[in-house]
Amino acid sequence: MTPFRKFSVAMALCILATVCAAFTKPVHIVAVGASNTQGWYVGKQGAYPAKLEVLLKGKGVNANVVNAGVPFDTTAGMLKRIDSDVPRGTDIVILQPGGNDRRFLVTKEQRAANIAAMERRLRDRAIKVIVYDEEIPPQYYAFDFIHLTAAGHAFIASKLLPRVLATIDRRAIAASPQAR
């Protein structure tokens, strides 16, 4: 085996070991949002944060997903509690701002400013942020057209899974000795 090939194999093994370590070291995730994050109608165990944790564990990721959803909250409320709801040691925050701002007549500009401020605060603390603010297909809403069904929570968890896995991969690569 040539020296270059030995180096390439060694580098690949080192990167693989680092990525594997990221999957065995607990990943601390906090889901911040309003009633849909909290699990209105389905309870905390039926809400997308709990479903995401199950999906991550099914992929071999040692993850703890904390549900910090507060019913009726707006992005202004989330901004006020972001520091207290996201403890030291958190790796990733999933921010699901929801639609209460629209219901409580908050402007689009203020909503965007609140989301940006939360992202900034979290990134200043070296916490990765995933904003989930996508349109959710109508079939996933309950009879009130505000809250999600169990299938809606499963849908969000399935959409978040690849984003969280990619964030974990980036975190492992950034922590590797070669990246420094």
The 10s digit of each residue's pLDDT in 58-112 is 999 999 999 999 999 999 999 999 999 999 999 999 999 999 988 899 899 999 9
pTM of the model: 0.81
DSSP 176: S
Helices 108-124 and 75-85, interaxial angle, to 10°? Answer: 10
Q: Inform me whether the pLDDT recorded for 173 exceeds 80.
A: no
Predicted pLDDT of residue 142: 97
Q: Which of 75, 83, 96 is nearest to 155 (CA)?
A: 96
Predicted pLDDT of residue 52: 98
pLDDT band at 137 (very low <50, low <70, confident <90, very high): very high
Q: Which of 171, 163, 177, 8 is nearest to 91 (CA)?
A: 171
95 phi and psi, to 5 degrees? -105, 115
User: Domains of the chain, with CATH numbers?
Assistant: 26-161 (3.40.50.1110)
Q: Are 118 and 94 in contact (CB under 8 A)?
A: no
Q: Inform me whether the pLDDT recorded for 179 exceeds 50.
A: no
Helices (H) and strands (E) in the chain, counts: 7, 4
Predicted pLDDT of residue 23: 47
DSSP 178: G
pLDDT band at 169 (very low <50, low <70, confident <90, very high): confident
Q: Inform me whether the pLDDT recorded for 33 exceeds 70.
A: yes
Predicted pLDDT of residue 9: 55
Q: Which SS3 state, helix, strand or coil, does residue 67 take?
A: strand
Please count the CA atoms within 13 angstroms of the CA of 74 that sit on its side-chain side. Answer: 15
Q: Are 18 and 82 in contact (CB under 8 A)?
A: no
